[in-house]
Structure 1
Amino acid sequence: MNHMVRTFAALSDPTRLSVVEELMQRGELPAGDLVAHAGMTGPAVSRHLKVLREAGVVTQRAEGTKRFYKVAPEAMKAISDWTISHHSFWAAGLDRLDAILAADDEVGDE
């Protein structure tokens, strides 16, 4: 469970989540492309990438002086597995919310 805490903590930052979404959409990218996407300085993006790397959300490979990043498929699978395993919890909560909203609509229509 500690690994999931690190994963969700890393993804809780809007910039890091945006970087991960960009990598998921476009595939492996050099750090420079991520800097342009994030609209912040190279060192700032580098710090975000370090957090994502340490959490196991992205992987890095070097090619000469360039660093390339991609989403770690095993991290996305772990998130998916965790979400699916908690499906009944979420479904029950959403069902209760639907019932409350439907009852509220009925009261409002009277």
Structure 2
Amino acid sequence: MITRELCVGRGAGPELLFRTLADPTRRRLFERLCREGEQTVSGLTAGAGVSQPAVSKHLGVLKRAGLVRDRQAGRQTHYRAELRALDPLDAWARAMKGFWEARIDGLEDLLNRMDQ
């Protein structure tokens, strides 16, 4: 299901990206574009397991989140992944990794002091 909040603007932060990619169909479409490169809607529909209108709607949500770009070539629309759109997720993951590494290091220091 495509919710209204997923249809808001570019410059997506981690929250919008997580919500957008939480849908398994959208995630599979995005992963295919990452792995296989630019494709048409009909090419993506072939392996999606959902109808062409559903694929088009999912691609629209991915586009509004900044995860894909499209270009017209005649009657066909070609989509490609925008990998830089994942930068906010990467930054969030790095921050969380640093946070938890610091917490674990602090716990390790405490346990070492308790052993002495």
Same fold? TM cut 0.5: yes
Structure 2: state its 5+ residue gaps: 1-10, 105-116
- Counting only pairs closer than 5 Å after superposition, residues 1-110 of structure 1 correspond to structure 2 as 3-91=13-101
TM-aligned CA deviation for residue 89 of structure 1: 3.2
TM-aligned CA deviation for residue 37 of structure 1: 1.4
User: 1:87 is matched by which residue type in structure 2?
Assistant: K
Deviations 1:55-79 (A, max 9, x none): 1111111101101111112212332
Closer, same or farther in 2 for the Cα pair 1:2/1:17, shift >3 Å? closer
Paired with 1:69 and 1:63, the residues of 2 have a C-alpha distance of: 11
Residue 108 (structure 1) aligns with: none
Closer, same or farther in 2 for the Cα pair 1:2/1:78, shift >3 Å? closer
* TM, length-normalised to structure 1: 0.75
Paired with 1:68 and 1:78, the residues of 2 have a C-alpha distance of: 25
TM-aligned CA deviation for residue 90 of structure 1: 4.6
User: 2:66 is matched by which residue type in structure 1?
Assistant: G
Paired with 2:30 and 2:100, the residues of 1 have a C-alpha distance of: 24
Secondary structure, aligned partner of 2:99: helix
Size of the aligned set, in residue pairs, is 96
TM-aligned CA deviation for residue 92 of structure 1: 6.2
* TM, length-normalised to structure 2: 0.72
Paired with 1:92 and 1:57, the residues of 2 have a C-alpha distance of: 32
Which segment drifts farther, 69-78 or 52-61?
Answer: 69-78
Paired with 2:29 and 2:85, the residues of 1 have a C-alpha distance of: 15
**Over aligned residue pairs, what C-alpha RMSD do you find?**
2.3
